[in-house]
Amino acid sequence: MRPDEIEGLIREGLPGTTVRVSDETGGGDHFQAVVVSPAFAGKGLVERHQLVYASLQGAMAGRIHALSLRTYTPEEWTAQQ
């Protein structure tokens, strides 16, 4: 799987989201993603990750072996910069 495919799935599942995915090993199965979404407001870390996983439409079951997530609301992302 390519990073742009993962980005597209996340954007489709979480409209209004900014996402950046990188392939950690070059093998197409270990990725890191930074996801900034207003949908994360008021949600804990587990809930945020569940939203991202749901947007991947089953890709976690076979095509993605590992996905490291950093999730932020737009306000948290701005404060982080």
- The string of pLDDT tens digits covering residues 44-62 is 999 999 999 999 887 777 7
- The CATH number of domain 3-75 is 1.10.600.10: no
Instruction: Determine the Cα–Cα distance for residues 22 and 41; give it in Å rounded to an integer.
Output: 24
Instruction: Determine the Cα–Cα distance for residues 8 and 20; give it in Å rounded to an integer.
Output: 10
Burial profile 47-60: b = 16 or more Cβ within 10 angstroms, e = fewer: ebbebbbebbeeee
What mean pLDDT comes out for the span 17-34?
91
Average per-residue pLDDT in the chain? 92
pLDDT band at 73 (very low <50, low <70, confident <90, very high): very high
The model's pTM is 0.90
